[in-house]
Structure 1
Amino acid sequence: MRKILIVGAGQSGLQLALGLQSRGYEVTLMSNRTADEIRAGRVMSTQCMFHTALQHERDLEVNFWESQTPRIEGLGVSVAGPESQRVIDWVGKLDGYAQSVDQRVKMAGWLETFAQRGGQLVIHGAAVSDLDFFARRYDLVMVSAGKGELVSMFGRDASRSPYDAPQRALAVAYVHGLGPRPEHPEFDAVRCNLVPGVGELFVMPTFTTSGRADILFWEGVPGGPLDVFQGVKDPQEHLALALELMERYTPWEYARATKVEPTDANATLSGRYAPIVRNPVGRLPGGGLVLGVADVVVANDPITGQGSNSASKCAAAYLASITEHGDRPFDEAWMRATFDRYWDTAQHVTKWTNAMLAPPPEHILDLIGAAGGLQPVADRFANGFDNPADFENFFYDPELAGSYLAAVSAQVQAGA
């Protein structure tokens, strides 16, 4: 039985551990926190997982919260104009619903499941020296902990990392008491509110430790009017700031948020990081090799909501590569080929995310505007969140975008 060590108990590390465990591998998982500590800790993310990523969880039969979690059936875009009035407002329908489960709920539950199924769980914050010791005792060591000392083993890939500084200041609040969007009270949607030159507000339903809730997520241009959350630890103070900004910049969202309260004492989070792609293979002082997983090697800004989706897709790709490899050694060539398999999908996420962080060119503004009157365009844009590779076909190139809009307009007119 092949022995595998996974360091880090997030979406990718746990999904991979559970998948390998189900296929008969001897898996050791290192986490710096217990399940109870995770469950009682601070919120970690704004995860919204679309159909493909959710299906990876279903395939492993670890979608434990699916029936309790709100079904997100659409994705809407609003653009603020002068005097904070909406100049664009539409919603596209998803082909398969999305869902958001608070990672405190999911990671704690998955950690307990891994242990209950006989997995070796080590509660310890690993250092490079630890991995140097373990690398000689395992057939494969993978690092899925995206922060801390271990990340320093994986060098920055400058050719794939155009930014060397954070492009957004991030502020998250989980709340109870948010009203429905009056434009579509009959179904839930992620709402993306774009405030040109200032930042973005994302609003999405979720399932948290206390049940149904909603996430208010500001992304602010650094140094701008939204960059005010640094150092704010009190959830009430954080939420008051978020609501004040909503009233000023997105009053249509503020109108349904006048009665919200934090879900718990750890319901807020703020921070920033530079988007980066790293070398997937880390070399230990003793000569051993470790493979980076998910946001250890590809960390995009959350503006396109791809973090947990990418983590799930990475775990699925690595699981397939490991099981297909049989008893052959997990050497550097295999590690690089395994990462390349993931990069086949991740490259589209990175390209799209980096494009959305920059001021949009005219043809993208035309696409977003046209979606308000052409439902097929709105639907295609929404489903790009599940399959970002499709943006290659109509989003980046002005000629492709123009041809696509002309074709859809002609179809709509012919059917009218």
Structure 2
Amino acid sequence: MRKILIVGAGQSGLQLALGLQSRGYEVTLMSNRTADEIRSGRVMSTQCMFHTALQHERDLGLNFWESQAPDIEGVGVSVAGPDSARVIDWVGRLDGRAQSVDQRVKMAGWMETFAQRGGQLVIHGAAVGDLDYFSRAYDLVLVSAGKGELVSMFERDPERSPYAAPQRALAVAYVHGLGPRPEHPEFDAVRCNLVPGVGELFVMPTLTTSGRADILFWEGVPGGPLDVFQGVKDPDEHLSLTLGLLEKFLPWEYARATKAELTDAGGTLAGRYAPTVRKPVGRLPGGGLVLGVADVVVANDPITGQGSNSASKCAASYLSAIVEHGDRPFDEDWMRATFERYWETARHVTKWTNAMLAPPPEHVLTLLGAAGGLPPVADRFANGFNDPADFEAYFYDPARAEAYLAEVAGA
């Protein structure tokens, strides 16, 4: 029985641990917090998972909250004009439903399941020195803790990382009491509101520790009018700032948020980080090698909502690679090949995300505007959140975009 150590109990680390466990591997999982501490702690993310990523969970029988979480059937795009009126407003329908489950709910539940199924759970923050000691007892060590000292073992890949600084200031609030969008009250959608030159607001239905809720997520251009959350410790002040910015920049979203209240004292989050792709192999002082997972090696800005989706896809890709490798050694060549196999999926996410962080070129604005009158264009854009590789066909190149719009308009 091969012994594997996974450090970090997020979407990717837990999904991979439970997947390996179900295949008969002896898995040790290290987490710096207990399940109860996670469940009662601060929100960690703004996850919205689309069909392919959700299917990876179903394949492992880990879709425990599927019947409770709101079904998200569409992705809407609104663009604010100079007078805060909507100049673009439409919603595309998803081919397969999406869902959001607060990671406090999911990670705590999965961690308890891992332990109940006989996995060795170690509650301990891991430093590089700890891994140096532990690594000798395992066939493979995987690092899926995307923050802290361990990430420094993985060298930044400048060829795949165009940004050296954070491109957005992030501010999250989980709320109860948000009303429906009056234009489409009959189904739930993720709403992407773009304020040119200022930033973006995303609104998504979710399942949290207290039931159905909505996430209000501002992405502000650093130094701009949305970049006001740094140092705000009081959750009520955070919500007040969130709603005040809604009223100023997105009055149509503010109109349904006047009765919004935080889900709990841990329902806010703020921060920023530079989107970074790293080399996948980390070297320990004693000569051992570790393989980076998900956010450790590919950390994109959350503007395209791909973090938990990418984590699920990375875990599924690594699981296949480990199982296929049999009893051969997990050497450096295998580690690099395993990452490159995942990168074939991740590169499309990184390209699209980095494109969305830049001011949109004219042909993209034309595409977004045309989607309001051409439902197939709106639907295709919405489904790109599930499969970002599709954007290669029409999104980046002006000539391809023009040809695609002409084809749809003439159909």
- TM-score bracket for this pair, using the shorter chain length: over 0.9
Alignment-mate amino acid for residue 246 of structure 1: L
Moved over 2 A (4+): none
Deviation of 1:233 after TM superposition, in Å, equals 1.6
State the match for 2:346 in structure 1: 346
Tell me the distance in 1 between the aligned counterparts of 2:160 and 2:94: 30
What secondary structure sits across from 1:84 in the alignment?
coil
Deviations 1:252-273 (A, max 9, x none): 0000000010000100000000
Tell me the distance in 2 between the aligned counterparts of 1:341 and 1:247: 45
Alignment-mate amino acid for residue 204 of structure 1: M
Alignment-mate amino acid for residue 293 of structure 1: V
State the match for 1:4 in structure 2: 4
State the match for 2:43 in structure 1: 43
Tell me the distance in 2 between the aligned counterparts of 1:90 and 1:342: 33
Tell me the distance in 2 between the aligned counterparts of 1:387 and 1:235: 35
Alignment-mate amino acid for residue 348 of structure 2: H
1:336 aligns with 2:351: no
Residues 12-411 of structure 1 mapped to structure 2, 5 A cutoff: 12-411=12-411
Tell me the distance in 1 between the aligned counterparts of 2:92 and 2:108: 33
Tell me the distance in 2 between the aligned counterparts of 1:103 and 1:231: 24
Alignment-mate amino acid for residue 409 of structure 2: S
Tell me the distance in 2 between the aligned counterparts of 1:132 and 1:244: 49
Alignment-mate amino acid for residue 299 of structure 1: A
Tell me the distance in 2 between the aligned counterparts of 1:75 and 1:276: 26
Deviation of 1:209 after TM superposition, in Å, equals 0.1
Tell me the distance in 1 between the aligned counterparts of 2:134 and 2:402: 55
Unaligned regions of 5+ residues in structure 2, if any?
A: none
Deviation of 1:120 after TM superposition, in Å, equals 0.2
Alignment-mate amino acid for residue 328 of structure 1: R
Tell me the distance in 2 between the aligned counterparts of 1:315 and 1:332: 19
TM-score (norm 1): 0.99
Deviations 1:101-134 (A, max 9, x none): 0000000000000000000000000000111111
Alignment-mate amino acid for residue 313 of structure 1: K
CA RMSD, 1 decimal: 0.3
Alignment-mate amino acid for residue 264 of structure 2: D
Tell me the distance in 1 between the aligned counterparts of 2:56 and 2:234: 36
Deviation of 1:235 after TM superposition, in Å, equals 1.3
Tell me the distance in 1 between the aligned counterparts of 2:39 and 2:198: 34
State the match for 1:414 in structure 2: none
Deviation of 1:82 after TM superposition, in Å, equals 1.7
Unaligned regions of 5+ residues in structure 1, if any?
A: 412-416
What secondary structure sits across from 2:83 in the alignment?
helix
Deviation of 1:234 after TM superposition, in Å, equals 1.3
Alignment-mate amino acid for residue 288 of structure 1: G
Alignment-mate amino acid for residue 138 of structure 2: Y
Tell me the distance in 2 between the aligned counterparts of 1:30 and 1:109: 15
Tell me the distance in 1 between the aligned counterparts of 2:182 and 2:366: 26
Tell me the distance in 1 between the aligned counterparts of 2:341 and 2:316: 10
What secondary structure sits across from 1:44 in the alignment?
coil
TM-score (norm 2): 1.00
What secondary structure sits across from 2:317 in the alignment?
helix
Alignment-mate amino acid for residue 200 of structure 2: E
Q: How many residues align?
A: 411
Tell me the distance in 2 between the aligned counterparts of 1:147 and 1:75: 30
What secondary structure sits across from 1:5 in the alignment?
strand
Deviation of 1:135 after TM superposition, in Å, equals 1.2
Alignment-mate amino acid for residue 134 of structure 2: F
Tell me the distance in 2 between the aligned counterparts of 1:30 and 1:135: 13
Tell me the distance in 1 between the aligned counterparts of 2:313 and 2:95: 18
Deviations 1:218-274 (A, max 9, x none): 000000000000111211110110000000000000000000100001000000000
Tell me the distance in 2 between the aligned counterparts of 1:25 and 1:88: 51
What secondary structure sits across from 2:224 in the alignment?
coil
